[in-house]
Amino acid sequence: MSELIVGVVPIRSFREGKTRLASILTGDERATLLRKTASRVVCTLAASQLVDTVLVVSSEREVLDWASTMGRRILPLQQLPPYAGLNGAIDAARDWAVERDADALLSLFADLPLLSTLDVRAMAREQAAVVLGADRRGEGTNAMLLRLAGAGEAFRFAFGTNSLDRHLAEANRLEMASEIVSAPGVGFDLDTPADWDEYLQTEQSPIWLRDFWTMPSLHCGVMSQ
């Protein structure tokens, strides 16, 4: 029997995100960038055929309104005050998933511009209770598949600095089997000007960059691998 997996993409804000790119991108450009990468992430999750529902967790009305237009399997989840910060957003999604008897929670950050359904499947096919999608530096956790049976409901999320080691330690504390997955589309995130420069090198055409800022974002329904 296949697992019932709930996906979650936490988004604090479109307009106040990606501040480390402020030296090279305007506020409007950063908002456009995050909207486009978030669209790719939620649509890829929906297209993977492995995720039952994709939750977009945010306290910001603009993000929640955007999520409500993305497709029938994409649901906005308002982040209420008891669930503060990034880890609180994932906690809120876990509580939602547990209430609906889901088997697992698959969290992904919104700034993964190269994510594909192959990356999602690479995470889901691992059998460990805690599957960690490492960033390309081997320090952070850009994705996590947490199986909710047993100790999964007690797992303490530790997204932030050195989160990969902290998540491994938490899995060990709870005696949960863990596995690290190095998937190209999971590992590459857009945090710094150097990341942006590297991303531009993956797209050679000047026309592509012009269209990036002017073309509408994806809406889920048609998604290529």
pLDDT tens profile 122-165: 999 999 999 999 999 999 999 999 999 999 999 999 999 999 99
- Give which of 63, 20, 15 is closest to 42, Cα–Cα: 63
Distances (CA, A) of 34 to 12, 62, 107, 212: 11, 13, 17, 12
Burial of 95 (0-12, 13-18, 19+ CB in 10 A): middle
Give the integer Cα–Cα distance in Å for 105 and 93: 8
Q: What average pLDDT does the chain have?
A: 92
Q: Are 192 and 136 contacting, i.e. CB atoms less than 8 angstroms apart?
A: no
pLDDT at 219: 73
* pLDDT (tens digit per residue) in 163-189: 999 999 999 999 999 999 999 999 999
pTM: 0.91
pLDDT band of 208, cuts 50, 70, 90:
low
As a whole-number percent, the residues of the chain with pLDDT over 70 amount to 92
C-alpha to C-alpha distances, 39 to 9, 16, 194, nearest whole angstrom: 10, 17, 22
- Domains of the chain with CATH codes: 5-214 (3.90.550.10)
Three-state secondary structure call for residue 33: helix
Fill in the amino acid letter for 135: D
